[in-house]
């Protein structure tokens, strides 16, 4: 199993045209420069950034891909609220949260809130001129799974076909909410940040989106959680499929696995060659993707794996200051908790990688 094409694509970011690409050592094996840079993935409207592990880049990717997309509704379903904090420039969240918006679907006596999505540019100046809205999260989401479970169990007790309708209404609540909010903010594109656990809002998100973007960090636990995600998607004994019996609900495909925190060899002459750790995890990820290719949106594993370099100091600055990676310049300096942190030169490569991901999903 070879990761050569995935690596060659990294080198292709740096060739300005086909002629320059022909001088690259990778060109012998992959002569078609233009097709190497086009993953030929079907384009969808609604994506969830999802994997069942913390600290792998879900919130960071949500924030940066929303900025790159320009025209998108972002929803934060993680009770930790990191992407809400990035969108609101760390200013704390006010207004209707995703918890407030979903609760009336589970507790029918509650009324639906009217103002939900908020304009990001009102809070974060780096989104000026962009049609990006967000729905913030709430710490109450920690309790959402048990509220959802008891609503589903009450619905199961309803006699006749009303039972099916009531359960579908609960499990399609995120989908219904997105239908309404995307109309209001005049965009079809949606990006949902999820938590590292499945029950509750992530479960509803899977019924609401077309496909998943799965960050996998270059460590064994992240690779295990990719396998766990696939098990939940396919195992009829687990809650996602089990709760769907007799119901008409949709399941997401997987569009892309973004391998985050990649590092590259510093050996002299080893241009665009991954370091050993990155290589090992790219190979492991490729094997899982190839084995489960029927869950993906095309049948070529190489189309679905995109490395994203470790952001290093730029990631720290981006998180602490709520600045999209695209807006950072090498050598810029910021003070974080009394410490001077400088934007690393490799930020330009990360910017190219993020632009590549954006171009290939929308
Ligand atoms: N290539 C990369 N992609 C994403 N994040 C990166 C990358 N390189 C470094 N980072 C850093 O890794 C951290 C990822 O944290 P993030 O909050 O996005 O993870 P998460 O998956 O949302 O975690 P949680 O499940 O706890 O919410 C951030 O500090 C980010 O700056
Ligand atoms: Mg997060």
Spell out the per-residue pLDDT of the chain, length 362, in tens: 699 999 999 888 878 788 889 988 889 999 999 889 999 999 999 999 999 999 999 999 999 999 999 899 999 999 999 999 999 999 877 899 999 999 999 998 899 999 999 999 999 999 999 999 999 999 999 999 999 999 999 999 999 889 999 999 999 999 999 999 999 999 999 999 999 999 999 999 999 999 999 999 999 999 999 999 999 999 999 999 999 888 989 999 999 999 999 998 887 766 778 999 999 999 999 999 999 999 999 999 999 999 999 999 999 999 999 999 999 999 999 999 999 999 999 999 999 999 999 999 99
- Looking at the structure, do residues 106 and 249 belong to the same domain, yes or no? yes
Q: Return the residue whose CA atom lies nearest to atom 16 of ligand 1.
A: 57
Q: What is the CATH number of the domain that holds 213?
A: 3.40.50.300
311 C-alpha vs ligand 1 centroid, how far in Å? 9
- Atom from ligand 1 closest to the CA of residue 311: 8
Give yes or no for a contact between 172 and 249, defined as CB atoms under 8 angstroms apart: yes
- Atom from ligand 1 closest to the CA of residue 310: 8
- Atom from ligand 1 closest to the CA of residue 318: 31
- Looking at the structure, do residues 141 and 199 belong to the same domain, yes or no? yes
Token pair recorded at residue 361: 């999903």
222 C-alpha vs ligand 1 centroid, how far in Å? 12
Q: What is the pLDDT of residue 269?
A: 67
62 C-alpha vs ligand 2 centroid, how far in Å? 9
- Does the residue 306 lie in any domain? yes
Q: What is the pLDDT of residue 16?
A: 79
Ligand nearest to the CA of 221: 1
The set of protein residues with a Cβ atom below 6 angstroms from ligand 1 is 54-61, 78, 80, 82, 196, 260-261, 308-311, 315, 318-319
- Does the residue 321 lie in any domain? no
Q: Which of 249, 261, 206, 234 is nearest to 49 (CA)?
A: 206
How do 339-342 and 333-336 pair as beta strands? antiparallel
d(CA 111, CA 108): 8
- Does the residue 253 lie in any domain? yes
User: Could you give the count of Cα atoms lying within 13 Å of 307 in the half-sphere of its Cβ?
Assistant: 30
- Does the residue 333 lie in any domain? no
- Looking at the structure, do residues 115 and 27 belong to the same domain, yes or no? no
50 C-alpha vs ligand 2 centroid, how far in Å? 9
Q: Return the residue whose CA atom lies nearest to atom 5 of ligand 1.
A: 57
- Does the residue 176 lie in any domain? yes
- Looking at the structure, do residues 95 and 218 belong to the same domain, yes or no? yes
Q: What is the pLDDT of residue 25?
A: 86
- Looking at the structure, do residues 96 and 18 belong to the same domain, yes or no? no
d(CA 203, CA 277): 32
**Residue of 67, 311, 324 to mutate, ligand 1, most atoms within 8 A of C-beta:** 311
d(CA 138, CA 101): 11
Q: What is the pLDDT of residue 246?
A: 80
CA 261 to chain centre: 15
Q: Which of 187, 175, 70 is nearest to 126 (CA)?
A: 70
| Dihedral of alpha carbons 42, 43, 49, 50, sign | negative
- Atom from ligand 1 closest to the CA of residue 314: 31
Q: What is the pLDDT of residue 267?
A: 75
58 C-alpha vs ligand 1 centroid, how far in Å? 6
d(CA 102, CA 283): 40
- Looking at the structure, do residues 250 and 162 belong to the same domain, yes or no? yes
Give yes or no for a contact between 193 and 47, defined as CB atoms under 8 angstroms apart: no
196 C-alpha vs ligand 1 centroid, how far in Å? 12
Q: What is the DSSP letter of 131?
A: E
d(CA 87, CA 6): 31
Q: What is the pLDDT of residue 298?
A: 97
- Looking at the structure, do residues 86 and 49 belong to the same domain, yes or no? yes
What is the H or E stretch that residue 190 is in?
Answer: strand 190-193
The neighbour count for residue 270, using CB atoms within 10 Å, is 11
- Does the residue 337 lie in any domain? no
- Looking at the structure, do residues 5 and 105 belong to the same domain, yes or no? no
d(CA 205, CA 195): 11
Q: Return the residue whose CA atom lies nearest to atom 12 of ligand 1.
A: 57
347-361 helix and 58-69 helix, angle to the nearest 10 degrees = 70
Residues at Cβ < 5 Å from ligand 2 ion: 58-59, 78, 82
Number of domains in the chain: 2
254 C-alpha vs ligand 1 centroid, how far in Å? 20
Q: What is the pLDDT of residue 273?
A: 84
- Looking at the structure, do residues 197 and 67 belong to the same domain, yes or no? yes
Give yes or no for a contact between 215 and 64, defined as CB atoms under 8 angstroms apart: no
d(CA 197, CA 260): 19
- Does the residue 347 lie in any domain? no
d(CA 52, CA 69): 25
- Looking at the structure, do residues 13 and 114 belong to the same domain, yes or no? no
133 C-alpha vs ligand 2 centroid, how far in Å? 18
- Looking at the structure, do residues 167 and 290 belong to the same domain, yes or no? yes
Q: Return the residue whose CA atom lies nearest to atom 14 of ligand 1.
A: 57
SS (H, E, C) the chain: CCCHHHHHHHHHCCCCCHHHHCCCHHHHCCCCHHHHCCCCCCCCCEEEECCCCCCCCHHHHHHHHHHHHCEEEEEECCCCCHHHHHHCCCCCCCCCCHHHHHHHHHCCCCCCCCCCCEEHHHCCHHHCCCEEEEECCCHHHHHHHHHHHHHHHHHHCCCCCHHHHHHHHHHCHHHHHHHHHHHHHCCCCEEEECCCCCCCHHHHHHHHCCEEEEEEECCHHHHHHHHHHHHHHHCCCCHHHHCCCCCCCCCCEEEEEEEEEECECCCCCCCCCECHHHHHHHHHHHHHHHHCHHHECCCCHHHCEEEEECCCHHHHHHHHHCCCHHHCCCCCEEEECCEEEECCCCHHHHHHHHHHHHHHHC
- Looking at the structure, do residues 177 and 122 belong to the same domain, yes or no? yes
User: At which residue do the structure tokens 């950072």 appear?
Assistant: 328
Q: What is the pLDDT of residue 11?
A: 87
Q: Return the residue whose CA atom lies nearest to atom 18 of ligand 1.
A: 57
- Atom from ligand 1 closest to the CA of residue 60: 18
- Does the residue 14 lie in any domain? yes
Q: What is the pLDDT of residue 1?
A: 61
Ligand nearest to the CA of 61: 1
Give the range of the structural domain holding residue 167, as residue numbers without chain letter.
Answer: 43-311
């Amino acid at each position: 199993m070879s990761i050569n094409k995935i690596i060659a694509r990294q080198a292709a970011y740096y060739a300005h045209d086909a002629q320059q690409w022909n001088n690259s050592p990778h060109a012998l094996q992959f002569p078609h420069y233009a097709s190497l840079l086009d993953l030929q993935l079907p384009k969808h409207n609604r994506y969830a950034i999802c994997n069942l592990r913390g600290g792998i880049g879900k919130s960071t990717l949500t924030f940066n891909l929303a900025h790159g997309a320009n025209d998108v509704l972002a929803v934060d379903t993680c009770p930790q609220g990191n992407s809400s904090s990035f969108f609101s420039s760390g200013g704390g969240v006010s207004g209707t949260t995703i918890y407030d918006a979903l609760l009336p679907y589970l507790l029918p006596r509650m009324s639906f809130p009217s103002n939900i999505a908020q304009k990001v540019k009102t809070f974060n100046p780096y989104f000026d001129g962009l049609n990006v809205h967000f729905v913030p999260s709430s710490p109450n989401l920690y309790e959402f799974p048990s509220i959802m479970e008891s609503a589903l169990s009450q619905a199961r007790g309803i006699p006749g076909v009303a039972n099916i309708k009531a359960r579908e209404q609960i499990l399609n609540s995120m989908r219904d909410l997105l239908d309404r909010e995307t109309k209001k903010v005049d965009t079809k594109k949606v990006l949902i940040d999820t938590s590292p656990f499945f029950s509750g809002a992530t479960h509803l998100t899977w019924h609401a989106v077309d496909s998943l973007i799965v960050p996998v960090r270059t460590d064994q636990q992240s690779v295990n959680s990719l396998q766990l995600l696939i098990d939940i998607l396919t195992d009829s004994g687990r809650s996602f499929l089990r709760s769907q019996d007799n119901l008409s609900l949709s399941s997401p495909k997987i569009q892309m696995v973004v391998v985050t925190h990649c590092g590259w060899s510093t050996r002299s002459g080893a241009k665009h060659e991954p370091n050993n750790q990155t290589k090992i995890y790219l190979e492991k990820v490729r094997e899982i993707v190839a084995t489960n290719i029927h869950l993906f949106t095309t049948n070529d594993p190489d189309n679905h794996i995109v490395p994203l370099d470790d952001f290093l100091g730029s990631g720290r600055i981006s998180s602490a200051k709520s600045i999209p990676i695209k807006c950072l310049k090498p050598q810029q300096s910021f003070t974080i908790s009394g410490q001077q942190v400088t934007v690393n030169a490799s930020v330009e490569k990360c910017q190219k990688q993020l632009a590549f991901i954006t171009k290939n999903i929308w």
